[in-house]
Amino acid sequence: MKYKNMRKWVVLAISFLLFIPFININSKNVSTATNAGGIFYVGGDGEGNYTNIQDAINEAQDGCIIYVYPKEYKESIVVDKSISLIGIIEDGEKPVINGSMNEEEKVVIIEANNCTFKNFVVMYGRGVVIKNSNYCLIENNEILRANPLENSTRYAALEIRNTQNCEIINNTVKESGEIGISLWKSSSVKAIHNQVSYNDDVGINIDICSNCVISYNNITKNQDGINLGLTENSTISFNNVYYNYQYGIIVYDLSNVTISNNSIHHHSYGGVVLWDSSYCTISENEIYGNLWGICVVGSMRIPWSENKENRVIKNNISQNEVGIYLELGRKNYFIMNNLIDNGKNAWFRQSFWLWDRNPLFPLHNTWLSNYWSDWKVPLPKPITGHLWFVTNLFLLDLPWFYLDWRPAMQPYEI
């Protein structure tokens, strides 16, 4: 009998000890005595809460979680450990990191792998940078009114550089003095469901990157929407890009980029501009209300080595000044697009270089099975433009034309 009673008390004692970690887990009075479990608190009322975020970071170890209560923190922080920094949301309010006290540096610097930065408002100063870090998550933050130093080079409110496999999800980046979000020398970065608006330069800028995904973002009221340069094997899809002041999407000096299923409208210049780029696909986009809908442009290079083998397929292109504009490109394909009620549904300017190794290459572009709102007969549709005939002695500007050999008689369902 004594043995049975003793066993009963042992079981009860063990059960009580197991229950202790769950007591007051959501209370603001939780002490940092729980640090042994890898959890820190900043800004709470209880004993042991940290006053400053950086103090908690300094005490944390890799793998720790730091929860921050919704107050204003006038500091800049450096995250140099693999930790999770998570703002607690109360009554819709997030913790605010105000960087106005240190406008010389970024307000938040993340320079460690496997970090999470979530549920914060970052204001003033120079924004947020993730550098030399892999597998980081930046989620549900608001980065507002970041401003550059006087006479500084281009900078971004949210900057990702020299990183791999990072995710930028559901952030708001607005009213920055220059670029909203910048990816530089990075790979396999996903920027998804972000709101990027009212930035004085580009909404999302991507340079020297590969295998990136830019999807489901709203990008509006910036100088330009999305800018990609020297980038390859990346996807721009399902974004709303509209009412940016100059261009919607500009790509240059890149290859194997897909631009698909975007809504791109109301820009003073181009909706989509493909500059000196090859092996790209522009498909199933809704493009309207721009000066040029889709613009495929090359430079005067001899022999041409860029702006070739691009595919413009199954886009709705309407109510632009020019639907599709082609300049100095070869072996590009324009197939099954709806070209409806543009000022000019298509126009081109090509060059015939007499001394080029293969001078007829500029003429080798394919137009096939597009729907033309200004063509109602089942005969080849002429596409008029100009041809520059170039020799060592003179340049002739001649009228020229392509043919869409099988124009569609009804618009496609896209």
The pLDDT tens digits of the residues spanning 379-410 come to: 999 999 998 877 666 678 889 899 999 999 99
User: What letter does residue 362 receive in the DSSP assignment?
Assistant: G
Asked if omega into 95 is within 30° of 0 (cis), the reply is: no
pTM: 0.87
What is the four-CA torsion angle of 252, 254, 260, 263, rounded to 10 degrees? -20
pLDDT tens-place string over residues 239-265:
999 999 999 999 998 889 999 999 999
- 364 lies in some domain: yes
pLDDT tens-place string over residues 77-95:
999 999 999 999 999 999 9
- 214 lies in some domain: no
Return the structure tokens found at 166.
């990072």
Mean pLDDT of 164-179: 96
Lowest mean pLDDT among 200-209, 339-348, 383-392: 383-392
- 413 lies in some domain: yes
Closest CA to 199 of 161, 151, 159, 140: 159
- 314 lies in some domain: yes
The answer, yes or no, to whether residue 52 has pLDDT greater than 80, is: yes
- 213 lies in some domain: no
Return the structure tokens found at 198.
């009212």
Domain range for residue 315?
246-414
The answer, yes or no, to whether residue 141 has pLDDT greater than 50, is: yes
The number of folded domains in the chain is 1
The answer, yes or no, to whether residue 293 has pLDDT greater than 70, is: yes
- 318 lies in some domain: yes
The answer, yes or no, to whether residue 195 has pLDDT greater than 80, is: yes
Return the structure tokens found at 284.
């199933």
**229 strand-pairing partners:** 207, 252
pLDDT at 168: 98
- 264 lies in some domain: yes
Mean pLDDT of 179-193: 98
- 70 lies in some domain: no
AA letter at 123? M
pLDDT at 110: 98
